[in-house]
Structure 1
Amino acid sequence: MLLVIDTGNTNIVFAVHNGTEWRGTWRLATSAQRTSDEYGVWLEALLTRAGITPREITRAVIGTVVPAALYDLRRLCREWFDVEPLVANAKLDWGFEIKVDTPDEVGADRLLNALAAHNHYRGPLVVVDFGTATTFDVVDADGAYLGGAISPGINLSIEALHQAAARLPRIGIGRPQSVIGRSTIPAMRSGTYWGYIGLIEGLLTRIEGEYGTSLKAIATGGLAPLFAEGTSKFTAIDSDLTLDGLRLLSLRNNPPPLPRDRARFIEAE
């Protein structure tokens, strides 16, 4: 079985695929201070509950936008599952060209989304990922990654508004029925939600104008269903896009071998 680890700025998602289907998916808050043993104890309990033993894990793949977390996630794979993880980066075989000025600077999650989206929906398309940042990533008809746009995620915007304006409270995210708020909190909710809908529609329109033809728009990330309610721009919602990108990447690349002297190798990292 394949252990998939998707490390975002807010959450780490662990999932297991048996070659046919996902056997389980679990989330943990991202923390660069968490040790490999903490991950291991937590994950082993969840695997046992799902009827999976550690020895059934024969491969692992990691995608991360948090470099500080990689060290202990690697140790988790080596010490608890006896596998060397494949780590997503621009130098691997993606099966498509990365047509940007500095490929090494592109977040692994953006390339993984491009890989899975083209595999499932075919380009040309744009993936909108609602995470800590909201990213727009353009994929050509042949699957090539063309770049995109990055904007602050909605939770960051809400927190910044609360922190910078003393009289404005922290609010939750939801779709208001009315655009015109008749008190402070409804006005904030309207501006946040419908403002983001305006950002989404405006950027998608400008991206299509620059690309020169219409594009399929695929929404992913935890808040994708909420924002898809407010616009007709999206062709599909796919919450597992990044996870499936990791699975597909592992199929395209050979698993790296375990280091001969794991203790010395770990200390050298």
Structure 2
Amino acid sequence: MDIGNSNTVLGVFEGETILQRWRIHTSRERTVDELGVLIRALFQDAKLDPGRLAGVTVCSVVPPVMNTVEEMCRKYLGLEPVVVGPGIKTGLPVLTENPREVGADRIVNAVAAVQLYGTPVVIVNLGTATTVCVVDDRGQYIGGVIAPGLRIATDALYERAAKLPRIELSWPKSVIGRNTVHSMQSGVLYGFAGLVDGLVGRVETELAQKFRVVATGGMAELIGEVSHRIEVVNPDLSLVGLRLLWEKNRLVKEPLGRRSLLEPDS
């Protein structure tokens, strides 16, 4: 479970294969029982048996929901979750001034990117915020950049400029807009593609090194269409990272057995 400011992404793995993925709204008001019923319903709809789960890994950038999520895992899944945070084994040296303040989602994405694409690598997460994370050629997380996200930018335009409307994030016909909506779409979308490309270029100049650039997050596919520097778009990067961290820190439920999550009860 990857709990973001706007959405929570959930994925179910069997080995290295993702059997199912879901995206739900992150709610600070949802109770343990409401979340448990929702998770159970998602499993039932996908014809998966939550009773055969071996474990749960959770990362979150929304501290107020963590007690609810952890208690839900215990009550409805019968599992003690592995929570990504200080003290967890990652295999990723974090060389920032205060490693504890680095978001759990950024660590999860970096772990997955190193495993899948090698080093050096830059991870661009285009979600509520736009983050750029840098892992050097020695596999060390050395820092990054945080900027506003696309939706924050569009909402700010709508809320702070009286004559500007709320817009849909879709590509205009051309960079030069011939009406207000197209002009705003161009400014936000091409502007953020330029932001990403410019930041990656500055990182490479500062470190005198070329990086592979991987993008993830809700807006990654959209911006990846026109970015000159994004090489790979992987919407499942955080889920892969969470699986890898569970492997490193696994708390196995007993008895487990080897039956498939898709295998019906006898």
TM over 0.5: yes
Corresponding residue for residue 32 of structure 1: 28
What is the CA–CA distance in structure 1 between the aligned matches of 2:50 and 2:123, rounded to whole Å? 34
Would the aligned equivalents of 1:99 and 1:147 in 2 still touch at CA under 8 Å? yes
Letter in 2 for 1:7: I
Tell me which of 149, 156, 166 is aligned to 1:153: 149
Deviation at 1:256, TM superposition (A): 8.6
Identity between Structure 1 and Structure 2 (%)? 40
For residues 65-103 of structure 1, what are the alpha-carbon distances to aligned partners after superposition, in whole Å with 9 as ceiling and x for unaligned? 000010110011100111100100132111121010011
Higher relative contact order (CA 8 A, sep 6+): 2
Structure 1 residue aligned with 2:243: 247
Q: Give the Cα separation in 1 of the matches to 2:26 and 2:246.
A: 23
1:82 equivalent to 2:110? Answer: no
Letter in 1 for 2:162: A
Q: Shift of the alpha carbon at 1:150? A: 0.4
SS class of match (2:38)? helix
* Counterpart contact for 1:219–1:228, Cα < 8 Å: yes
Q: Give the partner amino acid of 1:201.
A: D
Q: Is 1:117 the counterpart of 2:85 in the alignment?
A: no
**2:234, 2:186 → 1: CA distance?**
25
Matches within 5 A, 1:95-174: 95-174=91-170
* Stretch moving more, 76-85 or 139-148: 139-148
Match of 1:262 in 2: none
TM-score w.r.t. length of structure 2: 0.92
Residue segments in structure 1 that go unaligned for 5+ positions in a row: 258-269
TM superposition outliers: structure 1 runs of 4+ over 4 Å? none
Compute the RMSD of aligned alpha carbons: 1.5
Amino acid at match of 2:195: L
Alpha-carbon contact 1:85-1:256 (below 8 Å) kept: no
How much does 1:132 deviate? Answer: 0.2
- How much does 1:194 deviate? 1.4
In structure 2, how many angstroms separate the alpha carbons of the residues matched to 1:135 and 1:18? 30
Which consecutive residues of structure 2, in runs of 5 or more, have no partner in the other structure? Answer: 254-266
Aligned length: 254
Given the alignment, which residue of 158, 181, 187 partners 2:183? 187
Q: Secondary structure at the match of 1:23?
A: strand
Aligned to 1:48: 44
Report if the CA contact (8 A) 1:40-1:76 is conserved: yes
**Cα separation, 1, equivalents of 2:88 and 2:146:** 23
